[in-house]
Structure 1
């Protein structure tokens, strides 16, 4: 699992420019690759530093680091995925086919519920397809191999990746803005790269270049498609704060009234005594100061970051655009 996240960091670093180039939803600000890279890097660093052989504990440390350091929509959704993925693996020193399927299922439910207005044709659809593919594979294993065998794990991984590839292709037809631009969803491709890194770490067989070359808009010689889209407006606000579930629901409702792309998810487990938890909050708003004032009525925000929702210069370095200001 440590090797998986390290591989994912490398792959996303190599592909950040192309992911940025096709990032036009939910806003055409060309930063999906950058956001995923920085978020996965935080997870990989935490996993490398985590001690022990409990897979769930190592990934929980990585997931919480990703939640605290998440960049953008795509990074926040990846962090939600990883945090939930880890929960199904606690107490295990080895990942099996059934455990992988259960972890993907839990993660896709959590990711869909994290958004106030989840949309098909995005990373969510690719995660859901991967979870469905893994669940089907679990029942197709040869009886003599056993559900906990390496053969079953390989079959589950292959089925998840194959389903994810199909879902990425399908994103183009699921969202009008993607269909008009003849391009697949950047977040969906990013998650596919993460799954490919997982298969490569476990089986030594990642995504083939032919798979990526076949995705509309993703060839290295394709233009930066986001540059031809209407300019994005507003500011992305991200922070972490401690809330009860009731207060979290109230804050989500208020953020839905003043902005969009609202994502809220707990970081780790709830405090059984106080009934509170740290929450990662993400929203797009026209006025960031008003959003922070609103958030401040529910608690004290920490790890605050603002990002202007404008397209990055395609000539800038893909993984270091410096557009996020942390406070």
Structure 2
């Protein structure tokens, strides 16, 4: 699992420029590759020196670290995926086909539920298809926990993810018009292929992305041709009860879109630590609402106009805020 996250970090680092180039949904800010790379890097760093044979414990640590430092929609969804995947793998020391299917199934359910308005044709669709392929693979159906069963399950999941990535171009009007596949979906495909390679002691498939529309080295940076978005992305972490979290989500839905809220970990019997993500016209209305609910930390405010064009980081009177 350490090798998986290290391979995923390396792969995303190598592909971040092309992922950024085709990043036009939900906003054309050209940073999906960078966001995924930095979020996976946080997970990989967190587990590097952890001394445990428990797969679930290890991935849980990585997932929480990724959640705290998640960047953008794609990074936040990856951290939700990793945290959820860890849950069925608690007290497990060896990955098998059936356990992989259980982890992917839990991850896709949690990822879809984390968004207020999930959309087909994105990373969510790719995760859903690979989870379905793993769950219907022969090893998962028969309970085969052999290495061969794991290999066939991983292969089925990667094949299904690739097919789902290709399909994204027809599922979203913006992608259809630009003749590109979804950047987040491609990023997740790279992460899944890194899992296959690490688990089976193989190399990543260098030809995996050949032929994907918009992904050739010679292809232009599609996001650069799109009109700028005038809004901002606000992210933070906050301790709330489930009821307060549901109320905050509802109010953020009224202010903006791309709302993602996911529990990072339980604080006590009544309170969880939540990661919050939202796109909206201005930051202050969201920050005022969030501060009225609790005390946020790790607050970041980033312009959606273009990659690297930050609107600034909130450093007001938020206790413990260290921003991005």
Q: Structures share a fold, TM > 0.5? A: yes
**Does 2:251 align with 1:254?**
yes
Equivalent position of 2:19 in the other structure: 19
| Residues 151-160 or 130-139, more deviating | 130-139
**Does 2:92 align with 1:97?**
no
Equivalent position of 2:287 in the other structure: 292
**Does 2:278 align with 1:283?**
yes
CA contact (8 A) 1:98 1:138 kept: no
Equivalent position of 1:317 in the other structure: none
Equivalent position of 1:316 in the other structure: none
- Alpha-carbon distance in structure 2 between the residues aligned to 1:166 and 1:105: 18
**Does 2:111 align with 1:111?**
yes
**Does 2:168 align with 1:171?**
yes
TM-fit CA distance, 1:112: 0.1
TM-fit CA distance, 1:268: 2.3
CA contact (8 A) 1:266 1:280 kept: yes
- Alpha-carbon distance in structure 2 between the residues aligned to 1:222 and 1:2: 34
CA contact (8 A) 1:83 1:268 kept: no
Q: Which has the higher contact order (CA 8 A, sep 6+)?
A: 1
CA contact (8 A) 1:29 1:311 kept: yes
Task: Render the CA deviation track for 1:84-104: whole Å, top value 9, x for unaligned.
Answer: 001110000111110000000
CA contact (8 A) 1:60 1:268 kept: no
Equivalent position of 1:318 in the other structure: none
Across the two proteins, how many residue pairs are aligned to each other? 314
The TM-score normalised by the length of structure 2 is 0.94
**Does 2:47 align with 1:47?**
yes
Q: Say if 1:107 and 1:270 are closer, same or farther in 2 by CA, change over 3 A.
A: farther
CA contact (8 A) 2:139 2:150 kept: no
Gaps of 5+ in 1: 313-320
Alignment of 1:297-316 (within 5 A): 297-312=292-307
Equivalent position of 1:36 in the other structure: 36
Alignment of 1:1-327 (within 5 A): 1-139=1-139, 147-269=144-266, 271-272=268-269, 275-312=270-307, 321=308, 323=310, 325=313, 327=323
Gaps of 5+ in 2: 314-321
- Alpha-carbon distance in structure 1 between the residues aligned to 2:216 and 2:239: 43
